[in-house]
Amino acid sequence: LVSYNAMVAVYAQTGHLHDSKRVFDDMPVHDLISFNAIAGAYSHTGHLQDAKEMFDTLPERDLVSWTGMLTAYTRSGHLQDAKGIFCDMPQRDIVSWTAMLTAYARLGYLESAKSMFDSIPQRDCVCWSAMISVYGQKGQIDGAKRVFEDMPERNMVSWSSMLAAYAQNGHLNDAKVLFESMPYRDLMTWTTMLTVLTEEDRVDDARVLFDEMPQRDIVTWTAMLAAYTRNGHLENAKHLFDRIPQLNQICCNAMLDAYAQNSQLKEALEMFHKIHERDVACWSVMIYAYAHNGHLDLARKVLETMPERNIASWGAMLSGYSLTGHFLRVFEVLDLFRLIECPDSVCFVAIFGACNYIGKMEAGRQWFLSMIMDYKVEPT
């Protein structure tokens, strides 16, 4: 039973749902660990419904089952359900507290995340590191640094979280200093440093680092590809892409983006069609590609065809219209989403452009006030 469970778990962790399920179905008896493991497989592969069904039909549930379900909801963006699970679970421990902390942060409730953190009695390295990451994702470097310095002991992930917090918020020098002083480095921290070099437009140094890295994985390859794209080296990007050992959805998106940024519409479209499981980013790149090559109508069609939209997809369309002088279209599209999605700073740049162009300075001022008061978007 232990070996079977271990196999289910290994396949689950590597995202091989079918193999995981096959082993699960083949095993003679199941215990709670097997059920939890297969539920985790569903959750890891984004099959929220199946995970929930498994959870609901469990004859008994332990802390692992409850926390697993909490995480499944968090991963799929169902924060209210995550909170419901947290409230309903009969006991909680440091793992579930940390899971809930992360869930709050995802929803944007930094304060709730913080008070959850503060209320954890015996904090371990994981919840400290989670808190660093929360501050980092919120752009609050000082908070991240304070947590990092306050924690009683640090592990690989703590250092790595702090490094990522610096890198993702443009504190490139701090990132470099921290990297030099790190007691350990691994694939993830190396990759973070690759993105730091990229942001500094040191693409050649990035390539040297890439070549010298002791290991590379798909994330590293994609980071290098993005480095070439950012610096306009389409040929190098193509070359690199052809050498990637195992393609995934994200690196294909990155290549699609390389074509889009370089106005290679035909190649972009070709790549788009090669991608079968398209996510929001993939579709949004196509909006960008069309909008920046004079095909506003096709961009709009993509916007309307894509299965789901987020603020970046709306923003791509808005910017496309604004930059090409289709100012009435800006407001037309804005009306399509402003009640369901909060416009962000990119959207407002497009809106102000539209207002200025058609001479409606007063309307622009109103939008500016509304941005701050109603939408809580800070001017940048």
Partner RNA sequence: UUGGAGGAUAGGCGA
Q: Which of residues 201-240 bind RNA (CB under 7 A)?
A: 201, 217-220, 222-223, 225-226, 229-230
Site track for RNA across 8-47, x = CB under 7 A: xx--xx------------------xxx-xx-xx-------
DSSP letters, 26-75, are HSS---HHHHHHHHHHHHHTT-HHHHHHHHHH-SS--HHHHHHHHHHHHH
Site for RNA in 102-161 (CB under 7 A): 102, 124-127, 129-130, 132-133, 155-158, 160-161
Name which position in 73, 290, 314, 367 contacts RNA (CB under 7 A).
314
Is 223 within 8 Å of 191 (Cβ atoms)?
Answer: yes
Name which position in 11, 17, 54, 96 contacts RNA (CB under 7 A).
96
Does 288 contact RNA by CB under 7 A?
yes
Q: What sign has the CA pseudo-torsion 361, 364, 365, 366?
A: positive
- H helices present in 213-344, as ranges: 218-230, 234-243, 249-261, 265-274, 280-291, 296-305, 311-323, 327-337
Closer Cβ to RNA, 262 or 360, answer by number: 262
Site track for RNA across 236-275, x = CB under 7 A: ------------x-xx-xx--x---x--------------
Q: Which stretch binds RNA (CB under 7 A): 20-28, 47-55, 66-74, 235-243?
A: 66-74
Q: Angle, nearest 10°, between helix axes 187-199 and 218-230?
A: 0
- In the complex, what is the shortest distance from the CB of residue 339 to RNA, in angstroms, rounded to a whole number? 16
Does 298 contact RNA by CB under 7 A?
no
- In the complex, what is the shortest distance from the CB of residue 353 to RNA, in angstroms, rounded to a whole number? 7
Phi then psi dihedrals of residue 248, to 5 deg:
-135, 180
Tokens of 43: 């959750």
Separation of alpha carbons 252 and 225, rounded Å: 10
Does 169 contact RNA by CB under 7 A?
no
Name which position in 51, 54, 85, 95 contacts RNA (CB under 7 A).
95
Closer Cβ to RNA, 111 or 378, answer by number: 378
Separation of alpha carbons 225 and 209, rounded Å: 13
Closer Cβ to RNA, 257 or 267, answer by number: 257
Does 163 contact RNA by CB under 7 A?
yes
DSSP letters, 311-359, are HHHHHHHHHHHHHTT-HHHHHHHHHHHTTTS---HHHHHHHHHHHHHTT
Q: Which DSSP letter does residue 246 get? A: S
Does 71 contact RNA by CB under 7 A?
yes
Does 372 contact RNA by CB under 7 A?
no
